[in-house]
Amino acid sequence: MTTVFERRFGSVGIFTLGCVIFLSDRCLAGGSACVPGSSVNVCVEWSQGPNPVPEVDFRVSFDAPFDNLNPLIQLREGDAGWKVYAELVASPGTPANIGALTIAPNAPTDNFVVTIVRPTQQGDQPGAANVGTINLDAASWTGHSSMGTGSHITGDLTGSIVVKADANDAGGEFSLRLDGGVPNAGSLIQAPVVRNCS
């Protein structure tokens, strides 16, 4: 497990136990990884200690039907602390589109809580501009999924959303702050519990 302490004065030290110290007032645990595209960088964080590994724990695709401006993010390893975001290469920190956010669980009992947000030292920022389909369900999967509290996009939701509760009614929660709108009349939200959609 990697532990990160942050403080406004920002010096860095690496210790043999794998701790990175930013001389800070708060402590964060988890790992992160980014996949650069030609126009969009996609980054993910999770609550597990080592950094998530592309093509093992998650996958980012800039291939058709998605493209350099609308990447696909597919989460594979279950985690209750996934945070995903996309930002423009030409303007770091500026939210970019996410074409689709999906899961393909490595294990049939994996659980996913996903928040679309860009964590910063100044607080969480919107994690995307427009977002297409969000499908946090998979065939032959018995786990549960939720869209985490704090999810925030600056643009439109252009597709449908699916989150799933398990047989014990765990998960299935949906939360999203949407600065734009839902321009497609066919966009559906399939969620047992809607916590926030504003």
Question: In this predicted structure, which of 1-5, 33-37, 74-78, 112-116 has the lowest mean pLDDT?
Answer: 1-5
Question: In this predicted structure, which of 38-52, 95-109, 184-198 has the lowest mean pLDDT?
Answer: 184-198
User: With pLDDT > 90 as the criterion, what percentage of the chain qualifies?
Assistant: 75
pLDDT of 138 reads 95
pLDDT higher than 50, residue 11: no
What DSSP letter does each residue of the chain carry, written as one string?
Answer: --EEEE-TT---EE-TTS-EEE--SEEEE-EEEEEE-SSEEEEEEESSSSPPPBTTTEEEE--TTSBTTB-EEEE-S-EEEEEEEEEESSSTTSB--EEEEEE--SSTT--EEEEEEE--TT--EE-BSSEEEEEE--TT----EEEPTT-EESS-B-S-EEE-B-TT--B-EEEEEESS----TT--EE-SEEEEE-
pTM for this entry: 0.84
Confidence bin at 141 (pLDDT 50/70/90): very high
Sequence-distant (6+) residues with CB within 8 A of 121 are 6, 8
pLDDT higher than 90, residue 186: no
Task: State the CB neighbour count (10 A cutoff) for residue 182.
Answer: 17
pLDDT of 64 reads 67
User: With pLDDT > 70 as the criterion, what percentage of the chain qualifies?
Assistant: 84
What DSSP letter does each residue of 2-26 carry, written as one string?
Answer: -EEEE-TT---EE-TTS-EEE--SE
Question: In this predicted structure, which of 36-45, 50-59, 134-143, 186-195 has the lowest mean pLDDT?
Answer: 186-195
pLDDT of 66 reads 66
Confidence bin at 19 (pLDDT 50/70/90): very low
Whether the bond between 105 and the residue before it is cis, its omega within 30 degrees of 0, is no
The Cα–Cα gap between 23 and 8 comes to 8
pLDDT of 86 reads 98
Confidence bin at 30 (pLDDT 50/70/90): confident
pLDDT of 2 reads 34
pLDDT of 65 reads 64
pLDDT of 29 reads 59
The Cα–Cα gap between 29 and 16 comes to 16
